[in-house]
Amino acid sequence: MKKTIYILSIALMLPHLLSAEGFIEAGRVSPVQDASHFGVRVGLIQEFEGGVQELSRLVTRRTGSSSGDLPESYTFKELGFDDDYGTAGIVYQKPWKYFTFNFQANYFRPKVSTTAIRDFFIGVPNVEFGGTEYDYMFIPKGQKYTATLDNLLLRLGTRFTPLTFKFGEDNYVTPWIGLGVFSAIGFFEVDAGRATGLTQSENPPRDYVVKGKGDGINGGAIPEIGIGLDAYFQLTSDIGLELGGGIMAMEYDGRTDIVGIKSRNVKDLDASYRAAELSARLRFRRSETKDFFLGINLQTFDTDANTSADTDQTTKEILTKREKFDKNITLEFITGTIEAGFIF
């Protein structure tokens, strides 16, 4: 019993003893504390993978009768997006003692010019034929087409830094808990040549423009929460090394309109999101008030989502809205960039 009390006493006193010796200090502690970081990034989007898989239709599950339609699927690779793509962006960071503000923006523009390997029935807004605009396009097998995606990825958040571990004179490790928002905005255009007519698919039948040109916008935002570490090591009197790493994630079960996803009908959404980040920067002292940094940054993104028609609808509402197939949507990619900027 005495031994147990002794161990508990040491455990309770240890943080105070370490703090007294300067090993643990409250909040973030580093030579760049309270200094803003602003930089630019250039690099590559790699392993851009994912796609859409249709699952089943609510009307079939509700009535027990099949519409006759078969679920379809497509991957980014089938559509021609199977390359590495250049990316550029900015990063801004403002640390204080207990909180750090972070903002990142990355832009990339995949573009393909290829031939359809099979018939594609796809949703593309603003496809004009005969003076009328349609929201769906049919690209027949063997048809040449081009597709362009203008994507903007944004990350905005704050990190809580409760304490710092100090090693030696100017070496620090700071754990953090992060809370933020990840959003993606995409502008897309598909050009399959001159529109030549209409065809129908689905049951009840829906008009699809044969070939043609269309464009649209889509996107969404999802909150993220995670943990990580920042470290600072003074290499010489004028050069320091900053290292960072963290994992962010979120599970969401709600509606598409809540997270800003645009769809013809509001859907139920069950989504999971994972992201990881590693970075390394060399800090070069330029003056008493301004430093220069040069570094590398690696991030991974992985999203898996299921969209489904609202099951609270009546059968009449389902038929009126012409609810399409429930879908599974996946997206994953890696960004690798070099960055340079100023600490001021």
**What pLDDT tens digit does each residue of the chain (344 aa) get?**
555 455 445 444 444 444 545 689 999 988 766 789 999 999 999 988 998 888 877 767 766 666 556 777 888 888 888 889 999 999 999 999 999 999 999 999 999 999 999 999 888 999 999 999 999 999 999 999 999 999 999 999 999 999 999 988 889 999 999 999 999 999 999 999 999 999 998 777 889 999 999 999 988 888 999 999 999 999 998 999 999 999 999 988 877 766 556 556 677 888 899 999 999 999 998 877 789 999 999 999 999 988 887 777 777 776 666 667 788 989 999 999 999 999 98
Residue 205: is the preceding peptide bond cis (ω within 30°)?
Answer: no
pLDDT at 230: 96
At 190, list the tokens.
């598909």
Length of the chain: 344
- Give the separation between CA 132 and CA 249, rounded to whole angstroms: 43
Q: Where are the domains of the chain?
A: 27-118+145-188+217-343
CA angle 218, 186, 136 (to 5 degrees): 50
Please list, in sequence order, all residues whose beta carbon lies within 8 angstroms of the beta carbon of residue 26, skipping any fewer than 6 positions away.
19, 97, 162, 163, 164
Q: For position 9, what pLDDT does the model report?
A: 52
pLDDT of residue 197: 95
Candidates 19, 14, 38; CA nearest to 29 is 19
User: What's the confidence (pLDDT) of residue 7?
Assistant: 45
- Give me the residues paired with residue 57 across strands: 325
Q: What is the pLDDT of residue 249?
A: 95
Range 8-34 burial, b when 16+ CB lie within 10 A, else e: eeeeeeeeeeeeeeeebbebbbbebbe
Q: Can you give the pTM of this predicted structure?
A: 0.81
Domain 27-118+145-188+217-343: assigned CATH number: 2.40.128
CA–CA dist 337, 87 (Å, integer): 8
Per-residue pLDDT, 68 = 58
Q: What is the pLDDT at residue 287?
A: 78
Quote the CA–CA distance of 201 and 79 in Å, as a whole number: 20
Check residue 319 and give its pLDDT: 67
